[in-house]
Structure 1
Amino acid sequence: MPFQDLNLPTPLALVANRVSVTGIHPTADSFLAVSYVAEAGVKLLGISLYPAFVRSAPEFAYKIGHALLHADGLGMWDTILREATTQPRAGFLPPEFGPLLVWLTRKRGRSEEDNLAPASEAARGVLSALGLDEDEIPPILSIRDLISVLVLIRNKTKAHGAVGTDFYAIANESYVRAVRGVLVGNPLLAWAWIHLSRRDNMNVRAIRLLGTAPHHLRQAEANAYHPEAPGVYLSPEFSSRIYPCMPLIEANRDCTRFLLPNGGYSDSGSAEFLDYATGTASRVDVEAFLRPPAPLPRSVTHGLESVGVQSNVFGNLPQPPSPYVQRLRLQAEIATRLHDRNHSIVTLHGRGGVGKTRLALWCAHTLAAAEPASFESIVWFSARDLELRPSGPRPVQPAVSDLPGIAKLYARLFNEPSEDLDGFARVLEQPDPITSRGRLFIFDNFETMADMGSLHEFLDTHTILPNKVLLTSRERAFRGDYPIEVAGLDRAEADELLHTIARDLDIEGLLTPETIESIYTDAEGHAYVMRILLGEMAKDGHYTSPKMILPRRADVVNAVFERSFNKLSAEARYLFLLLSASKLKMSELALIIVLGKRGADVRSAVEECLRLALISHEPLPDGKRAYAAPQLARLFARRKLEGDPDRLLVQEDAALLARFGALGASATTHLPQEDQVRRFVAWCHADASGASPDRLRYLESLLALTAEVWPRAWPELARFRRRHGGSADEISYALRRAVEELPFDKDVWLARADYAQQVGDEQTRMSCLISAVDADPRNVELVRDVALELCRYVDRHKAEIPRARRGVYVASVRSHMERLADSLDANGLSRLAWLFLLENDQTNALKYAMAGHQHDDKNPHCLNILEKLGADSGVGKRQEDTRQ
């Protein structure tokens, strides 16, 4: 049956039961029944988010309730769901909702084995049956995207007769699979849904809403709950809190009928509610949501509503930042880049709260006051939707959010006749018509703009010098601009900021060199975090360790990282969580090895995390990079990891990363990248001692992954396989790859020669010995020993190797040996002479036999060759004993 295998809460189970009872048929009725399941599932998600914000963001909770009760279509539910699970709103969700947030927003790769891929394919199939071309179908990278596509399907099929009967024959089965995608694995549906009320004796009456037959809880269990009013409550997994879902869901006392909002809100304060299990509608009084939601306040950096003279320019700049700490190096670099004639776009990028906006404002006011003025006008566009206030992050109303809004705001500020994009493009392309000076356009919080890529492309295409664009952004996502990284304050800047804030808070007495050091170290120079830490100290009235304060101020840490985290791809997200969990600085090679077994593109993931300022890097002594998650990021990631479905995998890989060894705190104590990998390889060998067969296979796979990215592991893999019973083919393969990847390392050639001798492959052994000499031709002992083996080999195979072909075997070793003749003893010179004899070069054979005889006139090998050459010039008639 389509949904019978799922444990659904009763409000949804009753709806799904309609489909389970009737089955799926190629009819409009079957399609409608599945649509009701989809609608009810989406609406339960929206309803659950309303109580989640009641405490942390009551104004937004009211907006959710008002929007959902007034929504006459499913599109508004999708909009609210997306807004509530995106920054800045998502930062106000309680920790218990973390697993739900991850499940909704996590971007899945195509290779991930979860329910999204088949559900996405099924949804695309339905849209194709509706006549949409491939490029018209929105991408589905997350469950949240899948929900949007289901809403699109519902809207396109809602009108009676919108599709023909053939459509249902094609689409109904796929539609079921697509709807299952938002039900299977949904954390919300696994949480406890309970109807709570009080009996006449005031005891709590609790009904667990699970399946089509909800059941009463025992009185002892019911007494654990303390309902404020009768109705449906939600209790997340591992949480003691209950969240009231009223008035967005209504239920009768017996819990056989559940009503969900269905629009139709009237001026009298009632709205239509629908029982999706039966299809019957009712009017419900929800007068509490009659008032429209209050608009969000503006940011203090919103920008002025009109253009005026500001020092020596026309502009709408907000007030200069106060207090402000001078950041001389950055200020000088920004000024230089805004005055040059090379880059039309300059981007200040870095983590949220590090001071990008303050820096941009200070520089803008400095430019405005300069004489002569560099620009005719400076225009400020604020896209800020989250204000980082001393009391904590607060949502605010952005001045602009997309390109059309930017064009309209500029036209309004400067009384331009055209508000369209062509008009704004002309402004970007031309200097001031009177003074011929350029205009400076500043876009603050650029990362919050809709369709950021297209907007950046528009600015890059149309901004022509002397006009300039300055962006502040958490994301360094584009090429063609000039990037300036804004990191944490240096120590002197941080000291100034801390003392300034402490004076304002009247807590200067709490600032000692030790407390300043502690705050600076734990905040990593992050300006906003240091402000918050001092504010908490002012409230406590004494110094409190930042390590105690930061975990309880999750709102602050979320404000810094949440937006960037939500933009990560699945692989980059995993990498960030892994580095945060490992607490180590790790080389790129170590990450490639560990994540290689997950099939991850590590280099792309690293670049993505760096671009979003979620990880940092520093050089190793060998010039390679080491990567780490900053301490603040680790605090953020710890909370994310608790509800992440990959938590156990991340912890397993973090333990594996530790085997490469922790890197020191300063660059001088860092291990070079190759030393880290050698340490890891040594651990693999050590851990194999006494290991089970499964463990041996696991360690072997790690060494194989290591070898693919670090060739020096191939001989180690061969050694591992030889020691632990690998097959001949596997050992031979590892040794062959070793010599292919390391052709100038004599040891790998000798290792392959040794194994060839073990398995009786004489030809491969001799070829490897010759290659070992080629790899280290100055090694006198090696060349001398290989010459002996070569003489013996050719002697044993005289019949198969005619004299004319012997040069193929002996020429390389003989030429190397000839260059070492002055370093050879009598035995070595006799072997060189014999190599010449094998090629029938009697002249050189005599030369080196005589040289050996001069070294040692009693050397039997030299005497034997001399006797052979002197007694008979046909050397083939007599045999020389080559066992020297």
Structure 2
Amino acid sequence: MGPTQILRYSQNYCAGELILKITTAGFIAAIEDDRENHRYRLLHALVRADGIGEWAQALDEAISGTASQHLANSVTDARRTLTERVGRGSWQQEAVRNLHEVLVGIHDGAQPIGEKVQLRAWFQMFAELRNKTRGHGALTPATCVKLAPRLDASIRSLSQNNPIFQLSWAYIHRNLSGKYRVVEIGGDSVPFAKLKSSAAASGENYVAGIYLWADGFRRVELLHTDLDASDYFVPNGAFRNGSYELHSLVSDSRLKGDASPYLAAASERPPSETEGKGELDIQGRVFTNLPATTASYVRRPNLESEVRAALMNDRHPIVTLVGRGGIGKTSVALTVLREIAKTDRYDVIVWFSARDIDLMMSGAKQVQPRVLTDKDIAEEYRALIGGPIEGPAGKISPTASMAEHLRKSPLGSTLFVFDNFETVRSPVDLFQWIDTNIRLPNKAVITSRFREFKADYPIEVFGMEREEAEALVAQTALALGIETLVGRKERDLIIEDSNGHPYVIKIVLGEIANAGAFSKPSNLIARKEDILDALFERTYANLSPIAARIFLTLSGWRSLVPQLAVEAVLLRHGSGDGDPETGIDQLVRMSLIERTTAGDDADFLEVPLAAALFCRRKLEVSPLRAVIESDIRFLQDIGATAASGLKDGVRPRVEAFFRKAARRMNAGASMEELRPLLEFLAQRFPPGCFCRN
């Protein structure tokens, strides 16, 4: 019995640590996003934690500290199980007392426990046990034999009854077709069943990982596994050089974790420069809390006119400005709104900001979002306009009150503005709430990097027009004192490489000013990885698998590429990997690629330089890299297309591909690899076009 109990004692130490870390990871995953970033602060600390005591402290904060106020409602019972005081006869009491007996057997100075205990004490006690064991060296065999039954009983009781383990857990992975592979880990499988349906393929995108169901799918960032969920890894410190250690307490294997999501400071963040003012005041002919506009804004007449017309008319209750990060959506909106404030169309304009990153000349700066949920928005609205907190029937819900004002405001015609909509906790749900309640003459205007909802009037915001971009270059160069470094040739190159993106133009000019010499803009942009991440990471994370693959493919070879060719190249892998046309439409809708129609009505696709530079870094670490590079070679066979060649349409490109294919086969190459592409192009291209010599 001795050696067996010694082994069991050692195994139970590993099991206890795994229970502590999984429990902590689960509760942290169930913390909702909030303005103070409670969940991120805990994640930030634990990927750096070198001791188990920090995990126990994080669990305490999650279930009884300020972070616990933001736990999902469905884990309320689990939290109560850990925090309520219970007496003898309960499994919690049994688990805690058994572990306490083990601790006393090792450490004479262990604090006594009372008649009633909280289960959360188990986790602090286990951390103390681990630290005392390590501090006093290896235990004697006799001690292990004596304490093994108690430790075994405590671990067994907690593993069988732990409330967080009773929830639904699964590992999910989305393939290129958009369908999810679900590996159930524990709890009720019903919540994850809908991910197995065909409807899920067109639904929300969840990155591969372990998820917990708690009023929605919550990614458990601190727990990792493989495709078969056969081994589990948790952070184990060693945070350095952009990575941290992941350790399996099951197999003792070790991996490197990507630390990039946890590099931003966890301290309290400053407010955004575009956060609305704290009170309504008179501007023009309206009451509003609009933030100040930047003095460096360059007017964009055509875009401003389109936005102004949409907001002034008596149609379109919801107007959405959609475009890439830094493209100028907020600046355009503020400029137009200040002009509208001088008219009598609205009586009130209310500005809500969910912005969490300010794009500044010095780089991307993390800021604290003002609102994230309908509740935050409603409370902010009540603070701005005032109004009773209680009525005859009791407390008045801020959300219900604002919903009434969306329908018919006692303040008069009101324009509700929601800036950085993609940052709110659930954009689709919040949009549905707004759409359900908004009624003319009231309107809502949204700015967002992507648009995963309908029933609005979308206005796409692209790069600046040529004259606008020239004015921005001249104005910024003058402000930086580098007019002599930026002549016409340099200006044209900056505009071309930036695709008229105003923020990218400013960053390039700022880098030229810092260096005191002109450098190729593409090289300057490529070095600003933090800015590229700020501009594109959030949008990229929301792409479907097929859209992400197309983005990776097009970014690997920057040229105008016929959409027909992209579809053909992807379909050569088989028809079960998703619809390329749907993926392309998503990329266009999210402003990651641009689609241009040629003279023969054929569509051509191109990725802006900044987006392509961001995506090439993704390609370097993509598991699909070899396949995508093969696809790129096929696209290169079709040949590059310059903007000047669009008038000729797609025909010259397809003819060139068929000629290359013929030469390959004449040289002895197998037709099997080319057959799917040739058949697809032949079916899609007008009959008889290949009959010429």
The two structures share one fold, judged by TM-score above 0.5: yes
Q: In the alignment, what sits opposite 1:410?
A: 381
Alignment pair present for 1:470 and 2:439: no
What corresponds to 2:210 in structure 1? 147
Corresponding residue to 1:688 among 662, 665, 669: 665
Deviations 1:212-240 (A, max 9, x none): xxxxxxxxxxxxxxxxxxx96468xxxxx
Contact 2:47 2:244 in 1 (8 A): no
Q: 2:175 is matched with which residue: 91, 96, 109? A: 109
Of 600, 608, 626 in structure 2, the residue corresponding to residue 630 of structure 1 is 608
State which of 159, 164, 184 in structure 2 corresponds to 1:122.
Answer: 184
Question: What amino acid is aligned across from residue 554 of structure 1 in structure 2?
Answer: E
CA shift for structure 1 position 318:
0.6
1:561 maps to which of 531, 536, 540: 536
Counterpart of 1:563, as a letter, is: R
Counterpart AA for 1:381: F
Using the aligned pairs only, state the percent identity.
29
Normalising by structure 2, we get a TM-score of 0.68
Question: In structure 1, what is the equivalent of residue 416 of structure 2?
Answer: 441
Partners of 2:251 and 2:531 in 1: CA distance: 43
Task: Check whether the contact 1:59–1:294 (CA below 8 A) recurs between aligned residues.
Answer: no
Residue type of the alignment partner of 1:325: V
Structure 2: state its 5+ residue gaps: 1-6, 30-39, 68-169, 253-264, 389-395
Tell me, in whole angstroms, the C-alpha distance in 1 between the residues paired with 2:450 and 2:171.
19
**SS in structure 2 of the partner of residue 317 of structure 1:** coil
Deviations along 1:316-354, whole A, 9 cap, x unmatched?
111122222111111111111111111111111111101
The within-5 A match list for 1:301-380 is 301-370=274-343, 373-380=344-351
Deviations 1:91-131 (A, max 9, x none): xxxxxxxxxxxxx9996227699xx83xx2333xx4336x7
In the alignment, which residue of structure 2 is the partner of 1:523?
498
Residue of structure 1 aligned with 2:401, choices 409, 423, 432: 423
With normalisation by structure 1, the TM-score equals 0.54
Separation in structure 2 between the aligned mates of residue 33 and residue 631 of structure 1, nearest angstrom: 50
Separation of aligned partners in 2, 1:574 and 1:132: 28
- Counterpart AA for 2:270: P
1:408 alignment partner, SS class: helix
Please report how far the alpha carbon of residue 415 of structure 1 lies from its aligned counterpart in structure 2 after TM superposition: 1.1
1:572 aligns with 2:555: no
Does the CA-based 8 Å contact 1:587-1:673 persist in structure 2? yes
Give the Cα–Cα distance (whole angstroms) in 2 for the partners of residues 296 and 614 of structure 1. Answer: 29
Query: Could you tell me how far apart the structure 1 residues matched to 2:21 and 2:663 are?
Result: 54
- Do residues 497 (structure 1) and 499 (structure 2) align? no
2:581 corresponding residue in structure 1: 603
Judge conservation of contact 1:296–1:397 (CA < 8 Å) in 2.
yes
Cα displacement (A) at 1:674: 3.9
The Cα shift of 1:308 comes to: 1.8
> 1:131-530 alignment to 2 at 5 Å?
134=193, 146-149=209-212, 180-181=226-227, 233=238, 241=241, 294-370=267-343, 373-417=344-388, 418-432=396-410, 437-530=412-505
Q: Assess if the C-alpha contact under 8 Å between 1:128 and 1:134 holds in 2.
A: no
Alignment partners' CA distance in 1, 2:663 and 2:239 = 51
Q: Output the CA distance in 2 between the equivalents of 1:110 and 1:578.
A: 14
SS in structure 1 at match of 2:611: helix
CA contact (8 A) 2:44 2:266 kept: no
Following TM superposition, by how much is the alpha carbon of 1:656 offset from its aligned partner in structure 2, in angstroms? 0.4
Superposition pairs of residues 730-749 of structure 1, within 5 angstroms = none
- Indicate conservation of the 8 Å contact 1:143/1:182, yes or no: no
Q: 2:639 aligns with which of 645, 650, 661?
A: 661
Counterpart of 1:39 (choices 22, 33, 36) is: 22
Which has the higher mean CA deviation after the structures are superposed, 669-678 or 569-578? 669-678
Higher fraction of helix: 1
Residues 1:309 and 1:151: Cα distance change in structure 2 (over 3 Å): closer
Aligned with residue 71 of structure 1, among 58, 65, 68: 58
Which of 588, 594, 597 is matched with 1:616 structurally?
A: 594
- Quick check: 2:178–2:545 contact (8 Å CA) kept in 1? no
Distance in 2 separating the partners of 1:75 and 1:696 = 61
What SS does structure 2 have at the residue aligned with 1:460?
helix
**What CA deviation, in whole Å up to 9, does each residue of 1:856-877 have, x standing for no partner?**
xxxxxxxxxxxxxxxxxxxxxx
8 Å CA contact 2:172, 2:210 repeated in 1: no
SS in 2 for 1:409: helix
- Whole-Å Cα distance in 1 between the matches of residues 358 and 43 of structure 2? 15
Q: How many residues align?
A: 537
The structure-2 alpha-carbon separation of the partners of 1:628 and 1:75, relative to structure 1 and needing over 3 Å to count, comes to farther
**Distance 1:551-1:681 versus aligned 2 partners, 3 A rule:** same
Q: Relative to 1, partners in 2 of residues 1:352 and 1:39: Cα closer, same or farther, differing over 3 Å?
A: same
Shift of 1:590: 1.2
**CA-CA distance at 1:589 after TM superposition:** 1.6
Query: Which region of structure 1 is more displaced relative to structure 2, 703-712 or 134-143?
Result: 134-143
Corresponding residue number in structure 2 for 1:834: none
Measured at CA, do residues 41 and 144 of structure 1 come closer, stay the same or move farther in structure 2, by a change above 3 Å? farther
| Residue 641 of structure 1, CA deviation | 0.5
Say if 1:242 and 1:617 are closer, same or farther in 2 by CA, change over 3 A. Answer: closer
1:757-802 CA distance string (max 9 Å, x none)? xxxxxxxxxxxxxxxxxxxxxxxxxxxxxxxxxxxxxxxxxxxxxx
RMSD of aligned residue pairs (Cα, Å): 4.5
Contact 1:146 1:182 (8 Å CA) reproduced: no
Structure 2: which amino acid aligns with 1:476? R
Shift of 1:63: 8.9
CA distance, structure 1, for counterparts of residue 567 and residue 274 of structure 2: 43
The 8 Å contact of residues 176 and 546 in structure 2, kept in 1 or not, is answered as no
Q: Please identify the structure whose Cα radius of gyration is greater.
A: 1
1:254-286: per-residue Cα shift (whole Å, max 9, x none)? xxxx9x9xxxxxxxxxxxxxx8899xxxxxxxx
Measure, in 1, the Cα distance between the counterparts of 2:373 and 2:304.
Answer: 28
How has the CA–CA distance of structure 1 residues 688 and 355 changed in structure 2, closer, same or farther, with 3 Å as cutoff? same
Pairing 1:77-96 to 2, within 5 Å after superposition: none
